[in-house]
């Protein structure tokens, strides 16, 4: 075990960052769940507007938690793992929710009436990735849970690869079949937001992997 890991094991435990992370990922998961439901056909215009407002609320709450974590970083002498990793993991979770909100707002901005199957599937993959993050992050309290954490990280990587393939097929079909250039641009931008959200989930997983490696 590395010297810094030994020192962390011997120092008094401070649960505040773990509490922040668990609140943050729970908020993210709730936002992703509402977004997944939003991106299904059969949702009425009123229901869609209500879900978009809920996602905005989750995004605002996420910003508040992010601010609290950054404040704690500035005032805490001993942190459970590297400050850079705490900052990066916090930022990535914030980014995921930002892209979710951005995609939700495009539904209104672009007056999207029907959700394509590919967009619906991508929203589902975003949710699946946040489920795995919500499993992995509480396990950081005890880094002996490496095997269980890695199982979550592998799943997130697999989901991101699936999202990449789906995105490429969707964009290819869009250019083959869409004859309205404005509609094409709108649809492509929505797909890009969705795919980028899955990228951010993988980035968050990479930070967690970094934390594990440094603790070994």
User: In the prediction, which pLDDT does 10 show?
Assistant: 45
- Under a CB-based contact definition with an 8 Å cutoff, are residues 79 and 73 in contact? yes
Ramachandran category for residue 111: left, alpha or beta (phi over 0 → left; psi -120 to 50 → alpha)? left
| Whole-number pLDDT of residue 215 | 79
Amino acid 79: pLDDT = 86
Q: Which residues does 209 contact at the CB level (< 8 Å), separation at least 6?
A: 150, 153
**pLDDT at 6 exceeding the cut of 90:** no
CATH number of the structural domain spanning residue 105: 1.20.58.220
pLDDT at residue 11, rounded to an integer: 47
Q: CA-CA distance, 68 to 18, in Å (whole number)? A: 12
Average pLDDT over residues 17-39: 96
Cβ proximity of 141 and 21 under 8 Å: no
pLDDT beyond 50 at 136: yes
Say how far apart CA 183 and CA 161 lie, in whole Å: 26
Q: Does residue 35 surpass a pLDDT of 70?
A: yes
Q: Average pLDDT in the 144-149 region?
A: 92
Phi-psi region at 82: left, alpha or beta (left = phi > 0; alpha = psi -120 to 50): beta
Measured at the CA of 171, the angle between CA 166 and CA 177, to 5 degrees, comes to 120
Q: Tell me the backbone φ, ψ of residue 114, rounded to 5 degrees.
A: -125, 135
Judge contact between 134 and 25, C-beta under 8 A.
yes
Average pLDDT, integer, range 22-43: 95
CB 163 within 8 A of CB 205: no
Helix (H, G, I), strand (E, B) or coil at 12: coil
Residue 203 is part of which domain span?
Answer: 3-215
Q: Report the mean per-residue pLDDT for the chain.
A: 91
Residues with Cβ within 8 Å of residue 66, at least 6 apart in sequence: 24, 90, 91, 93, 94
Q: What is the pLDDT of residue 94?
A: 97
Question: What's the predicted TM-score (pTM) here?
Answer: 0.91
Q: Residue 91: which pLDDT band, with cuts at 50, 70 and 90?
A: very high
Provide the 3-class DSSP secondary structure of residue 216: coil
* Number of domain units in the chain: 1
Query: Which tokens belong to 192?
Result: 């890009």
CA dihedral 87, 25, 162, 186 (to 10 degrees): -90
Torsion angle of the four alpha carbons 143, 79, 81, 95, in this order, in degrees rounded to the nearest 10: 110
Each residue's pLDDT tens digit, 190-213: 999 999 999 999 999 999 999 999
């Amino acid at each position: 075990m590395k010297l810094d890991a030994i020192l962390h094991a011997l120092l008094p435990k401070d649960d505040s960052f773990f509490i922040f992370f668990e609140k943050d990922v729970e908020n993210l998961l709730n936002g992703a769940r509402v977004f997944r439901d939003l991106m299904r056909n059969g949702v009425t215009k009123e229901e869609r507007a209500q879900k978009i407002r809920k996602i905005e609320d989750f995004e605002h709450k996420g910003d508040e938690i992010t601010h609290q974590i950054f404040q704690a970083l500035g005032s805490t002498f001993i942190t459970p793992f590297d400050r850079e990793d705490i900052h990066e993991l916090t930022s990535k979770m914030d980014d995921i929710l930002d892209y979710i909100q951005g995609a939700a707002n495009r539904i209104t901005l672009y007056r999207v009436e029907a959700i394509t199957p590919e967009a619906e599937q991508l929203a589902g993959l975003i949710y699946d990735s946040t489920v795995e993050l919500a499993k992995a992050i509480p396990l950081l309290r005890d880094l002996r849970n490496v095997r269980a954490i890695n199982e979550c990280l592998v799943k997130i990587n697999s989901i991101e690869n699936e999202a990449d393939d789906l995105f490429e097929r969707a964009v290819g079909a869009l250019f083959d079949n869409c004859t309205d250039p404005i509609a094409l641009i709108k649809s492509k931008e929505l797909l890009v937001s969705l795919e980028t959200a899955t990228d951010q989930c993988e980035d968050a997983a990479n930070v967690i992997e970094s934390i594990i490696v440094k603790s070994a």
